[in-house]
Amino acid sequence: MTSATVNSDDSSVVTPAGAAAVPWYFWCAALAVTSAYVGGYWDISWHRSIGRDSFWSAPHMAIYACGVLAGISSAYLIFATTFGRAGSLRRWGVRIWGFTGPIGAFISAWGGMAMLASAPFDDWWHNAYGLDVRIISPPHMVLAAGFFGIELGTVMLLLAFMNRASGSTKRALQWLFLYVGGMALSESLLLKMEYISRSDMHNALFYIVVSLGTPAIMIAIAMASRLRWGCTAMAAAYTVFGVGFLWVLPLFHAEPKLGPVYRPVTHFIPWEFPLLVVVPAIAVDLMLQRTSRWRPLLRGPASGLVFFATFLAVQWPFANFLMMPIARNWFFGTAYMDFSTPARSSYARYVFAVRETDAAQFWRGMVIAAVVSCVTMWVGLHAGRSMQKVRR
């Protein structure tokens, strides 16, 4: 079979003539990112359904597989570039501690080491303090830092190759890049779950938390991909994974092993129906397509306002729907509650929690949320434009 180089700048990417060359280490890196998100979501469901069973539980193994897979892909690139198997990449690499490789590979390698280092820290934390029911704890933050390091490294790695590629290879890398962006978006919202439940959806804090980072991730990755529907593709990935978990996890048996048990649980309890971010994502994509000649100082905040207004317009009434008996089914999943949910909690009673003491505080919070959305969208826009220039 004859081979043809489809990447004019990177002679190391060789594939059968007419095929799109996506090297195995990109798929390995994308699988690492996916494994961490799946494992993280599964672990949260495990805590909500069973409690902490063992450090060696299946969700934990899925999470730490991310560090292993990222280590394999990044180590291969670094060693192959340094010692000659992929020597043609040397001119696009950076040199650290005597090794040469793409900067994304070094970032992923650091992230993998951080993730694996968090494992004994997390085990010690649980043995010392017992079951933790909160996502934000010191060992989890070390783990999250490692995971986001792997995500950033994968993004940088794909960027460097994507920006140097052409033809079908470039197109394939663009879509893989958006998929990784979708995983980044999903993971960022998963980490915020304690502040974005359905009981909080009529509070200003809910919209502030969603606006922190979410618009920036979406527009930065979308701009860097140069595809018209980048934000929509990432939001669609988040939605597909969200409803997939919601519909599949309850099919498997689980029962609490720790107390107190406030309600019987016989199957895995997933998190809630995904947020309707796909609607503002479509709106932002349309906005970007119609404002290509606008200055970033205007384009970014305008896109942020579009995101905030559209999200508010769809999520607020949808929150009302989620509180109704009609939503308490397998499709929307509002009947699922973990074993530690007290019967008198606002969540169990299907009422909205009140975080703002009066209307003035609520509207101040909503103004802050709108400003945060504009600022983060502007930051993301600049980041995306800069990412288009990455070559190493």
Question: Which tokens is 285 given?
Answer: 């994509």
- Look at residue 38 in the predicted model and tell me its pLDDT: 94
Is the pLDDT confidence value at 375 over 90? Answer: yes
Q: Predicted confidence band at 52 (pLDDT cuts at 50, 70, 90)?
A: low
| Backbone phi, psi, residue 335, to 5° | -80, -15
Sign of CA dihedral 108, 274, 38, 335: positive
Is the pLDDT confidence value at 383 over 60? Answer: yes
Angle between helices 230-248 and 24-49 (to 10 degrees): 40
Side-chain half-sphere exposure of 291, counting CA atoms within 13 A: 19
Is the pLDDT confidence value at 112 over 50? Answer: yes
89 vs 310: which has the higher pLDDT: 310
Q: Predicted confidence band at 143 (pLDDT cuts at 50, 70, 90)?
A: confident
Q: Predicted confidence band at 1 (pLDDT cuts at 50, 70, 90)?
A: very low
Most confident range, picked from 153-162, 257-266, 315-324: 315-324
Cα gap 304→3, rounded to integer Å:
46
Is the pLDDT confidence value at 40 over 50? Answer: yes
Is the Cβ–Cβ distance between 248 and 269 less than 8 Å?
Answer: no
Cα gap 74→116, rounded to integer Å:
15
